[in-house]
Chain A
């Protein structure tokens, strides 16, 4: 059977019994539009070029296998003064959350925003996601727009004194969660957004971020440590003149992770940095970072820095693209994806891409796969550092360039400590 027919049938089967959640007029329109697009496009299939290295079966199938998040996830960023928005099994928990009143930010639960007939989120919900479908299909994100059951709408109107923290927790180990967040930063504003934990046994999370002129969004996301979770995330961003977006993701464990990052630089002199570290041990670890950054303005700067540490048949994937449109002169694009394979069974699959239609740009990309440097290891051991500790030290050194992408040093330090603990346990 031809692929389009296979996908059409699978999508039809998958959608049996699924209904768009009841909401107000604008949201119903956006969701119905998404459903129509999804039916036309079809859910992803392992024979799709964009899913060549990652089989989407666990992300699209009807079955959800239980996760071990209840046992593995531990609180993080406890010392940081912040406003916590807590989702339990994918449902906002107002009682467990902090009072969402914070100067410079307006926070609305997605279901409330969508119940209203008019809301500012109307201009973004599904809009950046739709824009992000060109030139590559991202059907899981469309499915999210159609069926998301909860989420948060964040309107940043100033420079709030502390970060917002979206914290995912579980009370059951078999939840299938679809969350959709919308973040709008007005011109000249700033926000640090933390996103932590395992939303569900399976989760599909979309974050749409509109970063207006001169605004800054910092996004730091240590994903849950559950081994059995399956998660697909999409971050769609639109970045204006002299605006900055920095996003960093840490993944330790996870049998299926697909993190897509899609940013359109539409204003001059904008900066977009996206970084990630993942560490995986065992054949049930599969982690995919898929990045697409479009430069459509002058003098833009983008960096993609991804590092992976893999062992025992773990698999890491990186698909990263820099698209420089005609007229986006003086673009400075940088992309590096590296993996450290701690044994011969692990694998790293990388597909770096540059597509450039402007003639005055500086773009570079590199991708490497390597083992621990034996010479350095012997040097450390000859000074009395035990092999395991020396390996951890060298591994953290390998990861340092990616961790440096986190602007807040205290946050970076905490993630580094977590990595050190993980490496010591998996030595």
Chain B
């Protein structure tokens, strides 16, 4: 059965990027930052493509944010997604509930069977968008999925939680937030990149509610005192052994 899939991606700074706090003290300096598709979301794109390859269907990449976000949409198109939807806003909202609200408004009328997201974005780590989408739409939702398959209208996903694990099943439509461990995303092929240039990206204005999670101040974590790094045999191993022994049976 072909599935109509929306995959919501967030553009975030590269994991390796140096993060500098901007002069306003509430946002980060964007200059010089290289942007990527947030890793869990990128893995969700891969899952969407695999489902399409197995069952047929259509994959729409959805991203909310300023102009720069279009590059990430093109990247997901180059991987093999069929169409793009860019919900434009500037700046990026800091409150994840605002993002989820705008996505809900855009996705509801478009009639998707399955909405995929990453379980969290690596920038603000809000960890709530898939659940909010599902509740706003009245659909079932599983997050942190590490496997995902579809049979007919039934979705099956495995989700670990600490030392527990469950395999859950629900009928479409539904929302799945995936973990990167579900599988590494493919690289776009040269052909894919060329094709992506001709694919349609619909541009719409993001309908944003007022943010209620307000970042009052950003600061750097307190600098750590420089560690003691020495070669084995210098006596450092005794210091470490005493420290470890001191922690045995003591509660913190």
The answer to whether A binds B is no
Q: Residues of B with Cβ closer than 8 Å to A?
A: none
Q: Residues of A with Cβ closer than 8 Å to B?
A: none
